[in-house]
């Protein structure tokens, strides 16, 4: 951030601000929405965000202190399950690229979950290669008219707003001709259809956009800057998915607890494998903690791809171990009826569910194959893959 901070003074100030917030807004008597709104106004939502927009402009590392103090007081936290895309991806992107008016308009209702977000990025012909998106946005006065199809959209059925990447200039190269918008999901031209997964649920959707009108005031970043803005979103997404669990949190916590609670499941051969998985999970957790401590300005870089890659691989290995540990009981699947959950629960329900749900971890939030490319090129500095289409106008690319 380029600024020196007296850590002790900042810590004392934050403690006082949290005490004042709790004194003026008793968590036991005010509504969750009102408490979260007051927390935002006090600058305690994201302490590293700008003052007046949910933050205080101090390093992100102080957020843990604030969260711990509020949790100890029994205060409600943000709706991370319901609005994870908004909190983990849209908010930091709006903070980084939004105008003052956009920050004022979007951040507070996002924090209080008055507006729930989804992500309109991937398309049937542009999944791993996001820069190849074909959804078209055409300028019409002060608005843009958007037509196209998006896919794998988590939570679109519950969202009021979406972060959207669309092609605004097909005459430029595929990375250069994109722009980034905040789209109203209640527009009559938005059609959300469920996609049933291997778990039987439909967390994901395909979304059809027909003459959807988006004000230019809802464009984030400059026209044609969509790839740069989207990269910020994706880096935040990968950190959000790949890190943040406490010790023995997530999938390894489920397995370790079963090992302790059900001694009849144990055998010496599986003990060694469990210890290996536990150790790798702890290494990943500590690496994620170190990464978060490095994010003084609150904007993750490509290193987050490594965390997400590790998370996906470990989740799949551990869920497979979980299945074997439970033997025949692990094959039982309680409910395969079509459901539309409000949030994604990676570790919910029985071992069979967890095993099937983990299969998606290496696809969502960036495929493991693409993340290996990101790590190789942008973290390790290895020579990039040869890309013959990089400088060709998008309209001239074969499809």
324 is annotated as an active-site residue = no
> Beta 219-220 vs 204-215: how paired, if at all?
unpaired
CA distance 277 to 252: 8
Longest CA pairwise span in the chain (Å)? 70
161, 179 Cβ separation under 8 angstroms: no
Angle between the N-to-C axes of helices 7-24 and 32-41, in degrees from 0 to 180, rounded to the nearest 10: 150
- Within 10 angstroms of residue 229's Cβ, the number of other Cβ atoms is 24
Q: Are 371 and 308 in contact (CB under 8 A)?
A: yes
Q: Which of 16, 237, 364, 377 is catalytic?
A: 237
Find the radius of gyration of the CA atoms of the chain.
22
> Torsions phi, psi of 208, nearest 5?
-105, 130
Tokens for 49, please give them. 């965000």
How far apart CA 124 and CA 152 sit, in angstroms, is: 9
Calpha distance 253→257 (Å, rounded): 6
Evaluate whether 212 touches 145 at the Cβ level (below 8 Å): yes
C-alpha to C-alpha distance for 246 and 380, rounded to whole angstroms: 28
How far is Cα of residue 351 from the mean position of the Cα atoms in its chain? 24
Q: Active-site positions? A: 237
């Amino acid at each position: 951030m380029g600024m020196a901070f007296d850590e002790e003074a900042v810590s004392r100030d934050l403690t006082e601000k949290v005490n004042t917030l709790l004194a003026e807004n008793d968590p036991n008597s005010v509504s969750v929405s009102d408490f979260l709104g007051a927390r935002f106004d006090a600058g305690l939502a994201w302490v590293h965000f700008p003052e007046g927009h949910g933050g205080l402009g101090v390093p992100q590392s102080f957020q843990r202190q604030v969260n711990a103090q509020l949790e100890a007081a029994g205060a409600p936290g943000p709706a991370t399950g319901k609005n994870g895309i908004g909190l983990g991806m849209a908010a930091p992107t709006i903070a980084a690229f939004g105008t003052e008016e956009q920050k004022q308009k979007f951040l507070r209702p996002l924090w209080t979950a008055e507006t729930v977000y989804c992500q309109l990025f991937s398309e049937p012909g542009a999944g791993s290669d996001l820069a190849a998106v074909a959804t078209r946005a055409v300028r019409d006065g002060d608005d843009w008219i958007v037509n196209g199809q998006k896919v794998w959209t988590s939570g679109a059925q519950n969202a009021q707003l979406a972060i959207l990447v669309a092609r605004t200039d097909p005459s430029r190269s595929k990375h250069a001709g994109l722009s980034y918008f905040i789209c109203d999901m209640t527009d009559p031209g938005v059609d959300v259809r469920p996609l049933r997964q291997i778990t039987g649920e439909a967390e994901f959707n395909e979304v059809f956009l027909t003459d959807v009108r988006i004000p230019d005031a809802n464009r984030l970043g400059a026209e044609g800057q969509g790839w740069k803005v989207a990269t910020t979103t994706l880096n935040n997404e990968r950190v959000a998915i790949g890190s943040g669990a406490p010790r023995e949190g997530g999938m390894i916590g489920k397995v370790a607890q079963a090992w302790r609670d059900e001694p009849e499941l144990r055998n010496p051969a599986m003990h060694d494998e469990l210890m290996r998985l536990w150790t790798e999970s702890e290494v990943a957790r500590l690496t994620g903690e170190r990464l978060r401590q490095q994010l003084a300005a609150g904007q993750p870089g490509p290193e987050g791809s490594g965390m997400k890659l590790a998370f996906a691989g470990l989740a799949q290995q551990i869920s497979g171990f979980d299945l074997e540990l439970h033997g025949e009981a692990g094959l039982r699947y309680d409910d395969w009826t079509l459901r539309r959950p409000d949030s994604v629960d990676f570790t919910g329900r029985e071992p069979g569910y967890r095993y099937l749900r983990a299969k998606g971890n290496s696809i969502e939030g960036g495929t493991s194959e693409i993340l290996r490319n990101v790590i190789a090129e942008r973290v390790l500095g290895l020579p990039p893959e040869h890309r013959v289409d990089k400088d060709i106008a998008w309209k001239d690319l074969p499809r």
